[in-house]
Amino acid sequence: MGKLKFGYGWAVKWILAALLIAAGILMLLNSGVVVYATTGLAVILFSALRVVPLMKTLKKEVLRTMNLIEIIFDFIIGGVMVFVAFSGKWSDNFWIAMYGYLLAFFLLSRSVIYLVSMYYFDEKTEATKFWMHLIFFALGPVVLTLTILKNSTGVDIISLLIWALFIFALGGAVYLGYDGYGGYKKYRETSKKLNTEKQPPKEAPVEKEIPKPVADEVKQDETYVN
């Protein structure tokens, strides 16, 4: 039996699922600071982790320049959001409105640069990525409109997004939990193989040769000599 490999990714996924549920509950209890901090950290990670792979794989210099400028602005947006969240300024009316403008800028800049790269610079793409950016392109004006109409409606964008983020957190937790279940199932199957005693190979039964009957000797006619 070869060396068995144990994977513990299922445990990490279950922990992350629990953290997502906790984050979703915290959003409901203290919506402003959690929404600001979560969005800011997500934008920072999205920007920072894309830099090296993106710059290495884009073929045209103009595309590298466009995406690098976008990443710099996105990083600034994320940094501002995190600062506002942990400085306690998120409850000011100015920063509540500014959240909507920053989020709308992020969604529109990402989707516009993607569509321009695909249409004008012949950048190849896949269906999932295409539809995701179309959703970004549609959400940007919606967020911007809701932010502008806050004074007339009395509802800020953070209060509207809190339930969407809560549902997203629960959906992510369910996905991670299910994926972790599959990993744990494989882990238990590997443990079962480890604890199963190796049975010695059964020896093939030796067939005993059955003695063949001796053929009757043919009686030869006796020859008499006179």
Q: Give pTM, 2 decimals.
A: 0.68
In this prediction, residue 72 has a pLDDT band, given cuts at 50, 70 and 90, of very high
pLDDT digits (tens, 9 = 90+) for 7-50: 677 788 788 888 888 877 877 776 678 888 888 998 999 888 88
What is the structure's pLDDT at 68? 93
Tell me the percentage of the chain whose pLDDT exceeds 90. Answer: 23
Residue ranges per domain, the chain? 32-157
What is the rounded average pLDDT for all residues in the chain?
80
* Token digits of residue 26: 């915290």
Q: How confident is the model at residue 6 (pLDDT cuts 50, 70, 90)?
A: low
CB 124 within 8 A of CB 59: no
Task: Answer for the pair 106, 84: CB distance below 8 angstroms, yes or no.
Answer: no
Average pLDDT over residues 181-201: 71
**Local structure of 57: helix, strand or coil:** helix
Q: State how far the Cα of 144 lies from the Cα of 152, in Å rounded to an integer.
A: 14
Mean pLDDT of 174-187: 81
DSSP label at residue 26: H
Residue for token pair 């569509």: 115
118-142 mean pLDDT? 89
What confidence tier does 164 reach under pLDDT thresholds 50, 70, 90? Answer: confident
Contact present, 78 and 44 (Cβ < 8 Å): yes
